[in-house]
């Protein structure tokens, strides 16, 4: 799925020296490093030029090796080094081009395959609010459009929490802002399953 898409970006570049910009750290989240090793590459995580020069002189120069140089943050990269490599960018905004990437960054990578597959049916770019609704529906099985009262919300949260899943803060805040009928003192049920079940027990006691 998404691993195949990421790997294709690397494997389709038939170069012995690859400079991979991976600011979203997708290569590490999807265990691409071991696959790169299996292809016969030396891997170097670039942090500073001095460390790289040592690596190059001791491991690469005159040794006929293939190298993947990985950059995970904005650092100084000399022009002469960049000239030696073919550049490849691995970015969330390229993978999830129809969605708001700031929302995607808040989601565990285990859900990326589902999101990527569902995204294929989109014929336009979704804004922040639309992306939140999209993720809530297809990842967490929550449809805000059918939540009209507290009972509706509780039903949907029960399904979520009984699966052992909790919402990232970005989505619990989003729902709170959308459900105007939800009192502030009750909105905590969106924060975690422990708060939800604590509220449920207190409600039963007060009956």
Rg of the chain, C-alpha, whole Å: 23
pLDDT computed for residue 202 by the predictor? 66
Specify the pTM: 0.85
**How do residues 157-175 score in pLDDT, each as one tens digit?**
999 999 889 999 999 999 9
User: How does DSSP assign 122-187, residue by residue?
Assistant: --S---HHHHHHHHHHHTS---GGG--SHHHHHHHHHHHHHTT----HHHHHHHHHH-TTS-TTTG
* pLDDT digit string, tens, across residues 6-44: 888 887 666 889 999 999 999 998 888 988 998 889 999
């Amino acid at each position: 799925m998404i691993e195949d898409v990421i790997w294709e970006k690397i494997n389709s570049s038939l170069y012995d020296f690859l400079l991979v910009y991976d600011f979203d750290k997708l290569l590490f989240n999807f265990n691409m490093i071991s696959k790169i090793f299996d292809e016969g590459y030396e891997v170097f995580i670039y942090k500073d030029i001095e460390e790289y020069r040592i690596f190059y002189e001791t491991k690469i120069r005159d040794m006929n090796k293939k190298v993947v140089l990985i950059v995970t943050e904005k650092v100084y990269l000399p022009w002469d080094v960049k000239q030696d490599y073919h550049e490849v960018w691995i970015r969330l905004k390229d993978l999830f081009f129809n969605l708001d990437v700031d929302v995607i960054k808040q989601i565990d990578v285990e859900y990326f395959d589902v999101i990527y597959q569902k995204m294929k049916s989109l014929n336009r770019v979704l804004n922040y609010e639309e992306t939140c609704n999209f993720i809530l529906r297809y990842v967490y099985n929550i449809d805000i459009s059918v939540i009209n009262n507290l009972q509706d919300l509780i039903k949907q949260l029960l399904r979520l929490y009984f699966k052992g899943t909790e919402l990232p803060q970005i989505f619990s805040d989003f729902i709170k802002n959308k459900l105007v009928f939800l009192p502030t003192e009750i909105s905590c049920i969106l924060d975690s399953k422990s708060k939800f079940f604590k509220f449920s027990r207190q409600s039963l006691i007060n009956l």
